[in-house]
Amino acid sequence: MHDHAAGVRGSDNRRLLALSLGITSTVMVVQIVGAVLSGSLALLADAVHMFTDAAALVIALIASAVAARPANDRRTFGYQRAEVFGALANGVILIVLSVWVAVEAILRLVHPGELEVAGGAMLIVAVIGLCANAVAMWLLSAAQRRSINVRGAYLEVMGDLIGSAAVIVAAIVILVTGWMPADAIASLLIAAMIVPRAVGLLREVASVLSEGAPKGMHVQEIRDHILSTAGVRDVHDVHVWQLTRGAPVFSAHVVVDENALRDGGAGRILTQLQGCLAQHFDVEHSTFQIEPSGHVENDAHV
């Protein structure tokens, strides 16, 4: 049941990513043409952002397909961690993009030159981009809560949405007042809004790769649930980590009273413990080592 559900989820994610890729690529071409015609740096920056998003979505699609491959003797947990590496690539791309946009915007402010920005064409293209990004965000909104890889793509589309809104405001300012620096300021705003989201994504990737406990999961609370199981006397060597977003893994050594192990008691206790983690903590992959009271491990110091 778990493997089938994971396969369906991966297939749905790939379909959504493919739809978003189609939308992003189409709008990217429109924005490049619009940037050339209008002379807008903000629109060009948004177009480059779209280009980077298209590349990131391709990475996300590849990672999602690889993650769907079954486990084998070399990759005993399967390939779900591929989603994390895809998200890592997305985060790095976002950081590089934001630096490029900021440098270009500062150069435009320091050396404004004689370039005129066509506010009308800039506004029309920015509105098209805003609508397209809103549709892409809606497509990815549910899946991004279950997959760190889809979340990376979702955050990049969100950055595009905000960027399109900033370009629209700059275009209106240029049309109404003729103040051309509004274009460069909008570009700086785009860069400033990309960085925090990229850093947040990279922080989550670092937590997964360092095998930290998933956000919102409290080890002591899990320990208390295990200790409340009839026959359980102690629990130690508790480890909680995640393969990717929404795929937590748990292992622990559980000391059980010897009387509770008689007549197949170990199987009953194991079923109760696994059911507890699945029901209360949404952990479908849990491993328990059942130990009779008085058992001494050879590697207890570890």
Element (H, E) at 100: helix 82-110
Split at pLDDT 50, 70, 90, the class of 297 is low
pTM of full prediction above 0.75:
no
Residues of the chain above pLDDT 90, percent: 2
Question: Which two structure tokens, joined as six digits, stand for 242?
Answer: 């995640």
Nearest alpha carbon to residue 173 among 284, 143, 181, 147 = 181
Question: Which amino acid, 79?
Answer: Y
pLDDT at 4 over 50: no
Same domain, 73 and 198: yes
**CA-to-CA distance for 91 and 53, rounded, in angstroms?**
11
pLDDT reported for residue 31: 85
Split at pLDDT 50, 70, 90, the class of 221 is confident
Domain limit, last residue, from 168, 185, 209? 209
Lowest mean pLDDT among 46-50, 112-116, 244-248: 112-116
Cβ–Cβ under 8 Å, residues 106 and 192: no
Say how many C-beta atoms besides its own lie within 10 A of residue 250's C-beta.
25
Cβ–Cβ under 8 Å, residues 93 and 52: yes
What range defines the domain where residue 105 resides?
A: 2-209
**CA-to-CA distance for 169 and 126, rounded, in angstroms?**
9
Burial label, 19 (beta-carbon count in 10 A; 0-12, 13-18, 19+): middle
**CA-to-CA distance for 156 and 250, rounded, in angstroms?**
31
Say if 300 falls within a structural domain: no
The CATH number linked to 115 is 1.20.1510.10
Q: How far is CA 3 from CA 78, 80, 88, 203, in A?
A: 11, 12, 25, 28
Say if 302 falls within a structural domain: no
Overall number of domains in the chain: 2
Split at pLDDT 50, 70, 90, the class of 108 is confident
pLDDT reported for residue 7: 42
Say if 186 falls within a structural domain: yes
Split at pLDDT 50, 70, 90, the class of 168 is very high
